[in-house]
Chains A and B, each alone.
Chain A
Amino acid sequence: MSVKDRVIAIIAEQAVLEPSDVTMESTLEDLGIDSLGLVESIFAIEEEFDISVPFNANEPEKSDFDISSVASIVAGIEALIAEQKK
Protein backbone atom coordinates (compact mmCIF):
# COMPACT_ATOMS: atom_id res chain seq x y z
CA MET A 1 0.00 0.00 0.00
CA SER A 2 1.17 3.48 -0.80
CA VAL A 3 1.63 6.15 1.87
CA LYS A 4 -1.47 7.82 0.52
CA ASP A 5 -3.61 4.68 0.86
CA ARG A 6 -2.31 3.99 4.36
CA VAL A 7 -3.05 7.55 5.51
CA ILE A 8 -6.51 7.41 3.97
CA ALA A 9 -7.17 4.12 5.73
CA ILE A 10 -6.28 5.69 9.09
CA ILE A 11 -8.39 8.78 8.48
CA ALA A 12 -11.32 6.69 7.24
CA GLU A 13 -11.19 4.53 10.33
CA GLN A 14 -11.20 7.59 12.54
CA ALA A 15 -14.14 9.07 10.63
CA VAL A 16 -15.96 5.72 10.60
CA LEU A 17 -16.15 5.88 6.78
CA GLU A 18 -15.08 3.63 3.93
CA PRO A 19 -11.69 4.60 2.46
CA SER A 20 -13.46 5.21 -0.85
CA ASP A 21 -15.45 8.00 0.83
CA VAL A 22 -12.27 9.90 1.72
CA THR A 23 -10.98 12.04 -1.14
CA MET A 24 -7.75 14.00 -1.36
CA GLU A 25 -9.75 17.24 -1.32
CA SER A 26 -11.66 16.36 1.89
CA THR A 27 -10.95 18.46 4.96
CA LEU A 28 -11.02 16.91 8.44
CA GLU A 29 -14.09 19.01 9.16
CA ASP A 30 -15.85 17.55 6.07
CA LEU A 31 -15.10 14.11 7.43
CA GLY A 32 -16.44 14.94 10.89
CA ILE A 33 -13.09 14.57 12.67
CA ASP A 34 -12.92 16.81 15.75
CA SER A 35 -9.87 17.93 17.73
CA LEU A 36 -9.64 14.69 19.72
CA GLY A 37 -10.07 12.70 16.50
CA LEU A 38 -7.24 14.72 14.98
CA VAL A 39 -4.74 13.96 17.74
CA GLU A 40 -5.81 10.33 17.67
CA SER A 41 -5.24 10.24 13.88
CA ILE A 42 -1.80 11.79 14.28
CA PHE A 43 -0.96 9.19 16.92
CA ALA A 44 -2.09 6.40 14.56
CA ILE A 45 -0.03 7.90 11.72
CA GLU A 46 3.06 8.11 13.94
CA GLU A 47 2.59 4.48 14.93
CA GLU A 48 2.00 3.33 11.35
CA PHE A 49 5.06 5.02 9.85
CA ASP A 50 7.24 5.20 12.97
CA ILE A 51 7.76 8.90 12.51
CA SER A 52 7.31 11.93 14.73
CA VAL A 53 4.76 14.49 13.52
CA PRO A 54 5.47 18.06 14.69
CA PHE A 55 1.94 19.07 15.67
CA ASN A 56 0.90 21.25 18.60
CA ALA A 57 -2.86 21.30 19.15
CA ASN A 58 -2.55 24.75 20.76
CA GLU A 59 -1.44 26.38 17.54
CA PRO A 60 -2.24 24.09 14.62
CA GLU A 61 -1.81 26.94 12.12
CA LYS A 62 1.80 27.49 13.25
CA SER A 63 2.76 23.85 12.99
CA ASP A 64 5.00 22.82 10.13
CA PHE A 65 2.48 20.10 9.54
CA ASP A 66 -0.38 21.23 7.28
CA ILE A 67 -3.71 19.62 8.11
CA SER A 68 -5.94 21.69 5.82
CA SER A 69 -6.86 18.70 3.63
CA VAL A 70 -6.17 15.01 3.19
CA ALA A 71 -3.82 15.90 0.33
CA SER A 72 -1.78 18.24 2.52
CA ILE A 73 -1.59 15.65 5.27
CA VAL A 74 -0.38 12.96 2.85
CA ALA A 75 2.20 15.34 1.39
CA GLY A 76 3.38 16.29 4.87
CA ILE A 77 3.77 12.68 5.88
CA GLU A 78 5.66 11.78 2.72
CA ALA A 79 8.04 14.64 3.49
CA LEU A 80 8.46 13.53 7.11
CA ILE A 81 9.16 9.94 6.05
CA ALA A 82 11.78 11.12 3.58
CA GLU A 83 13.36 13.34 6.22
CA GLN A 84 13.20 10.97 9.20
CA LYS A 85 13.96 7.70 7.42
CA LYS A 86 17.17 8.80 5.76
Chain B
Amino acid sequence: MNDLFHNAAPNATRTAPPLAPPRTYPPQKPTQVYLFGTCVVDLFYPEAGMDSIRLLEREGIRVHFPQAQSCCGQPAYTSGYTEEARAVARTQLALFAEPWPVVVPSGSCAGMLRHHYAELFADEPDTLRQVRDLAERTYELAEFLLHVCQVDYQDRGAPTKVALHTSCSARREMQTHLHGRALLGQLQAVERVDHDHESECCGFGGTFSVRMPDISGAMVADKTRALQDSGAAQVLTADCGCLMNINGALEKQRAALRGEHLASFLWRRIGGAV
Protein backbone atom coordinates (compact mmCIF):
# COMPACT_ATOMS: atom_id res chain seq x y z
CA MET B 1 0.00 0.00 0.00
CA ASN B 2 2.95 2.33 0.69
CA ASP B 3 3.72 2.70 -2.96
CA LEU B 4 0.38 4.47 -3.35
CA PHE B 5 1.78 7.33 -1.33
CA HIS B 6 4.20 9.89 -2.60
CA ASN B 7 5.92 9.92 0.74
CA ALA B 8 6.22 7.44 3.55
CA ALA B 9 3.98 9.18 6.08
CA PRO B 10 0.96 6.98 6.80
CA ASN B 11 -1.29 10.03 6.93
CA ALA B 12 -0.13 11.39 3.59
CA THR B 13 -2.83 12.34 1.13
CA ARG B 14 -3.52 9.40 -1.14
CA THR B 15 -3.80 9.45 -4.89
CA ALA B 16 -5.48 6.76 -6.95
CA PRO B 17 -3.11 4.06 -8.17
CA PRO B 18 -1.76 4.98 -11.60
CA LEU B 19 -3.46 3.46 -14.61
CA ALA B 20 -2.21 -0.10 -14.76
CA PRO B 21 -0.91 -1.48 -18.05
CA PRO B 22 -2.96 -4.37 -19.40
CA ARG B 23 -2.10 -7.71 -17.87
CA THR B 24 0.49 -9.81 -19.64
CA TYR B 25 0.02 -13.54 -19.76
CA PRO B 26 2.67 -16.27 -19.71
CA PRO B 27 3.59 -17.24 -23.27
CA GLN B 28 3.09 -20.91 -22.59
CA LYS B 29 0.44 -22.98 -20.93
CA PRO B 30 1.68 -24.21 -17.55
CA THR B 31 1.73 -27.90 -16.72
CA GLN B 32 0.38 -27.48 -13.19
CA VAL B 33 -2.11 -25.17 -11.57
CA TYR B 34 -3.93 -24.79 -8.29
CA LEU B 35 -7.69 -24.58 -8.26
CA PHE B 36 -9.14 -22.24 -5.63
CA GLY B 37 -12.69 -23.56 -5.55
CA THR B 38 -14.42 -20.81 -3.50
CA CYS B 39 -16.82 -21.39 -0.63
CA VAL B 40 -20.04 -21.02 -2.62
CA VAL B 41 -18.90 -23.45 -5.30
CA ASP B 42 -17.76 -25.87 -2.62
CA LEU B 43 -21.13 -26.32 -0.96
CA PHE B 44 -23.64 -25.27 -3.61
CA TYR B 45 -22.13 -25.72 -7.06
CA PRO B 46 -19.44 -28.39 -6.73
CA GLU B 47 -20.11 -29.59 -10.28
CA ALA B 48 -19.07 -26.18 -11.57
CA GLY B 49 -15.80 -26.71 -9.72
CA MET B 50 -15.44 -30.19 -11.20
CA ASP B 51 -16.16 -28.89 -14.70
CA SER B 52 -13.48 -26.26 -14.16
CA ILE B 53 -11.02 -29.03 -13.27
CA ARG B 54 -12.06 -31.01 -16.33
CA LEU B 55 -11.65 -28.04 -18.64
CA LEU B 56 -8.15 -27.48 -17.29
CA GLU B 57 -7.17 -31.15 -17.48
CA ARG B 58 -8.39 -31.25 -21.05
CA GLU B 59 -5.62 -28.77 -21.79
CA GLY B 60 -3.08 -31.20 -20.42
CA ILE B 61 -2.76 -29.38 -17.11
CA ARG B 62 -2.39 -31.13 -13.80
CA VAL B 63 -4.74 -29.54 -11.28
CA HIS B 64 -3.95 -29.37 -7.58
CA PHE B 65 -6.70 -28.81 -5.05
CA PRO B 66 -5.27 -28.10 -1.59
CA GLN B 67 -7.80 -29.70 0.72
CA ALA B 68 -7.21 -27.16 3.47
CA GLN B 69 -8.66 -24.30 1.38
CA SER B 70 -11.93 -22.77 2.45
CA CYS B 71 -12.83 -19.17 1.53
CA CYS B 72 -11.14 -16.04 0.23
CA GLY B 73 -12.58 -14.04 3.14
CA GLN B 74 -14.63 -11.62 1.08
CA PRO B 75 -17.96 -11.96 2.97
CA ALA B 76 -16.35 -10.81 6.21
CA TYR B 77 -14.23 -8.18 4.46
CA THR B 78 -17.10 -6.45 2.72
CA SER B 79 -19.16 -6.52 5.91
CA GLY B 80 -16.47 -4.62 7.78
CA TYR B 81 -15.23 -7.58 9.83
CA THR B 82 -11.66 -7.01 8.70
CA GLU B 83 -9.86 -8.93 11.45
CA GLU B 84 -11.87 -12.03 10.77
CA ALA B 85 -11.36 -11.67 7.01
CA ARG B 86 -7.64 -11.26 7.50
CA ALA B 87 -7.42 -14.41 9.62
CA VAL B 88 -9.13 -16.50 6.97
CA ALA B 89 -7.13 -14.90 4.15
CA ARG B 90 -3.91 -15.64 5.97
CA THR B 91 -4.65 -19.35 6.08
CA GLN B 92 -5.37 -19.41 2.36
CA LEU B 93 -2.07 -17.71 1.57
CA ALA B 94 -0.09 -20.60 2.98
CA LEU B 95 -1.76 -23.16 0.74
CA PHE B 96 -0.56 -21.99 -2.65
CA ALA B 97 3.17 -21.99 -2.07
CA GLU B 98 4.34 -23.48 -5.36
CA PRO B 99 4.86 -21.00 -8.19
CA TRP B 100 1.85 -22.31 -10.10
CA PRO B 101 -1.07 -20.28 -11.37
CA VAL B 102 -4.08 -20.18 -9.09
CA VAL B 103 -7.25 -20.53 -11.15
CA VAL B 104 -10.52 -19.37 -9.60
CA PRO B 105 -13.98 -20.17 -11.03
CA SER B 106 -15.37 -16.90 -9.68
CA GLY B 107 -14.48 -13.37 -10.69
CA SER B 108 -15.26 -11.81 -7.34
CA CYS B 109 -13.05 -14.24 -5.42
CA ALA B 110 -10.30 -13.89 -8.00
CA GLY B 111 -10.56 -10.13 -7.56
CA MET B 112 -10.32 -10.51 -3.81
CA LEU B 113 -7.06 -12.39 -4.12
CA ARG B 114 -5.67 -10.23 -6.87
CA HIS B 115 -6.61 -6.76 -5.63
CA HIS B 116 -7.83 -6.79 -2.04
CA TYR B 117 -5.42 -9.10 -0.23
CA ALA B 118 -2.84 -6.35 -0.59
CA GLU B 119 -5.18 -4.02 1.34
CA LEU B 120 -5.69 -6.64 4.07
CA PHE B 121 -1.97 -7.06 4.59
CA ALA B 122 -0.88 -3.49 3.85
CA ASP B 123 0.79 -3.23 7.24
CA GLU B 124 2.71 -6.52 7.02
CA PRO B 125 5.62 -6.12 4.58
CA ASP B 126 6.63 -9.79 4.73
CA THR B 127 3.16 -11.12 4.14
CA LEU B 128 2.73 -8.50 1.45
CA ARG B 129 5.51 -10.09 -0.55
CA GLN B 130 3.68 -13.40 -0.45
CA VAL B 131 0.42 -11.66 -1.34
CA ARG B 132 1.95 -9.91 -4.36
CA ASP B 133 3.38 -13.14 -5.60
CA LEU B 134 0.02 -14.84 -5.27
CA ALA B 135 -1.84 -11.95 -6.90
CA GLU B 136 0.49 -12.06 -9.88
CA ARG B 137 -0.45 -15.65 -10.64
CA THR B 138 -4.16 -15.52 -9.82
CA TYR B 139 -6.50 -15.92 -12.78
CA GLU B 140 -10.21 -16.07 -13.14
CA LEU B 141 -11.15 -19.27 -14.98
CA ALA B 142 -12.44 -17.79 -18.25
CA GLU B 143 -9.45 -15.47 -18.39
CA PHE B 144 -7.11 -18.40 -17.88
CA LEU B 145 -8.70 -20.59 -20.53
CA LEU B 146 -8.75 -17.78 -23.06
CA HIS B 147 -5.43 -16.04 -22.53
CA VAL B 148 -3.16 -18.65 -20.98
CA CYS B 149 -4.46 -21.90 -22.43
CA GLN B 150 -5.48 -20.13 -25.64
CA VAL B 151 -8.31 -22.60 -26.09
CA ASP B 152 -10.05 -22.98 -29.41
CA TYR B 153 -13.30 -24.75 -28.71
CA GLN B 154 -15.38 -26.74 -31.17
CA ASP B 155 -19.07 -26.67 -30.43
CA ARG B 156 -20.81 -30.06 -30.43
CA GLY B 157 -24.17 -28.86 -29.18
CA ALA B 158 -27.44 -27.92 -30.81
CA PRO B 159 -28.10 -24.26 -31.67
CA THR B 160 -29.12 -22.23 -28.64
CA LYS B 161 -29.36 -18.68 -27.36
CA VAL B 162 -27.68 -17.70 -24.12
CA ALA B 163 -27.40 -14.61 -21.99
CA LEU B 164 -24.23 -13.88 -20.02
CA HIS B 165 -24.36 -12.15 -16.65
CA THR B 166 -21.06 -11.06 -15.22
CA SER B 167 -20.60 -10.22 -11.55
CA CYS B 168 -19.71 -6.61 -10.83
CA SER B 169 -16.31 -7.31 -9.36
CA ALA B 170 -15.53 -9.78 -12.13
CA ARG B 171 -16.46 -7.12 -14.66
CA ARG B 172 -14.70 -4.21 -13.02
CA GLU B 173 -11.70 -5.95 -11.50
CA MET B 174 -11.06 -8.80 -13.94
CA GLN B 175 -12.83 -7.87 -17.25
CA THR B 176 -14.47 -11.28 -17.05
CA HIS B 177 -17.37 -10.18 -19.25
CA LEU B 178 -14.98 -9.87 -22.17
CA HIS B 179 -13.39 -13.23 -21.52
CA GLY B 180 -16.74 -14.96 -21.17
CA ARG B 181 -17.98 -13.39 -24.38
CA ALA B 182 -14.87 -14.44 -26.27
CA LEU B 183 -15.17 -18.04 -25.11
CA LEU B 184 -18.85 -18.21 -26.02
CA GLY B 185 -17.98 -16.64 -29.33
CA GLN B 186 -15.90 -19.69 -30.12
CA LEU B 187 -18.95 -21.93 -29.94
CA GLN B 188 -20.44 -21.93 -33.40
CA ALA B 189 -23.98 -22.95 -32.51
CA VAL B 190 -24.28 -20.62 -29.56
CA GLU B 191 -25.78 -17.18 -30.02
CA ARG B 192 -25.13 -14.83 -27.16
CA VAL B 193 -27.84 -12.20 -26.74
CA ASP B 194 -27.56 -8.98 -24.78
CA HIS B 195 -29.96 -8.32 -21.94
CA ASP B 196 -31.33 -4.98 -20.81
CA HIS B 197 -29.05 -3.07 -18.41
CA GLU B 198 -26.56 -5.90 -18.77
CA SER B 199 -23.81 -4.21 -16.80
CA GLU B 200 -26.08 -3.51 -13.84
CA CYS B 201 -25.69 -5.35 -10.57
CA CYS B 202 -27.96 -8.36 -9.93
CA GLY B 203 -28.35 -7.30 -6.32
CA PHE B 204 -26.41 -10.05 -4.60
CA GLY B 205 -23.53 -8.08 -3.06
CA GLY B 206 -22.92 -10.86 -0.55
CA THR B 207 -24.52 -9.86 2.76
CA PHE B 208 -26.25 -6.93 1.03
CA SER B 209 -28.91 -9.38 -0.14
CA VAL B 210 -29.81 -10.21 3.47
CA ARG B 211 -29.17 -6.79 5.01
CA MET B 212 -31.17 -4.87 2.42
CA PRO B 213 -33.52 -7.55 1.10
CA ASP B 214 -36.06 -5.12 -0.34
CA ILE B 215 -33.56 -3.23 -2.46
CA SER B 216 -31.72 -6.39 -3.40
CA GLY B 217 -35.03 -8.03 -4.26
CA ALA B 218 -35.94 -5.15 -6.56
CA MET B 219 -32.58 -5.45 -8.29
CA VAL B 220 -32.82 -9.19 -8.87
CA ALA B 221 -36.43 -8.78 -10.02
CA ASP B 222 -35.23 -6.36 -12.71
CA LYS B 223 -32.28 -8.57 -13.60
CA THR B 224 -34.39 -11.72 -13.97
CA ARG B 225 -36.99 -9.78 -15.95
CA ALA B 226 -34.27 -8.56 -18.31
CA LEU B 227 -32.82 -12.05 -18.66
CA GLN B 228 -36.21 -13.51 -19.41
CA ASP B 229 -36.98 -10.78 -21.94
CA SER B 230 -33.68 -11.32 -23.73
CA GLY B 231 -34.93 -14.41 -25.52
CA ALA B 232 -32.15 -16.53 -24.10
CA ALA B 233 -32.88 -20.18 -23.39
CA GLN B 234 -30.30 -20.15 -20.67
CA VAL B 235 -28.36 -17.80 -18.44
CA LEU B 236 -24.66 -18.24 -17.93
CA THR B 237 -22.42 -16.66 -15.35
CA ALA B 238 -18.89 -17.17 -14.16
CA ASP B 239 -19.74 -16.21 -10.58
CA CYS B 240 -21.67 -18.47 -8.22
CA GLY B 241 -22.77 -15.71 -5.87
CA CYS B 242 -24.73 -14.17 -8.72
CA LEU B 243 -25.84 -17.63 -9.83
CA MET B 244 -27.31 -18.38 -6.42
CA ASN B 245 -29.03 -15.01 -6.40
CA ILE B 246 -30.43 -15.23 -9.91
CA ASN B 247 -31.46 -18.88 -9.80
CA GLY B 248 -32.95 -18.46 -6.35
CA ALA B 249 -35.10 -15.63 -7.64
CA LEU B 250 -36.07 -17.46 -10.84
CA GLU B 251 -37.09 -20.49 -8.81
CA LYS B 252 -39.16 -18.41 -6.42
CA GLN B 253 -40.83 -16.78 -9.42
CA ARG B 254 -41.44 -20.27 -10.84
CA ALA B 255 -39.87 -19.09 -14.08
CA ALA B 256 -38.71 -21.58 -16.68
CA LEU B 257 -35.35 -19.91 -17.21
CA ARG B 258 -32.35 -21.08 -15.22
CA GLY B 259 -28.72 -20.17 -14.91
CA GLU B 260 -25.63 -22.33 -15.09
CA HIS B 261 -21.96 -21.75 -14.44
CA LEU B 262 -20.03 -20.91 -17.57
CA ALA B 263 -17.60 -23.77 -16.89
CA SER B 264 -20.37 -26.39 -16.92
CA PHE B 265 -21.86 -24.97 -20.08
CA LEU B 266 -18.52 -24.94 -21.89
CA TRP B 267 -17.70 -28.47 -20.78
CA ARG B 268 -21.00 -29.76 -22.05
CA ARG B 269 -20.88 -27.90 -25.35
CA ILE B 270 -17.44 -29.14 -26.29
CA GLY B 271 -18.68 -32.68 -25.75
CA GLY B 272 -17.05 -33.38 -22.45
CA ALA B 273 -18.26 -36.67 -21.11
CA VAL B 274 -18.10 -37.34 -17.41
Q: Tell me, yes or no, whether A binds B.
A: no
Residues of B near any A CB (own CB < 8 A): none
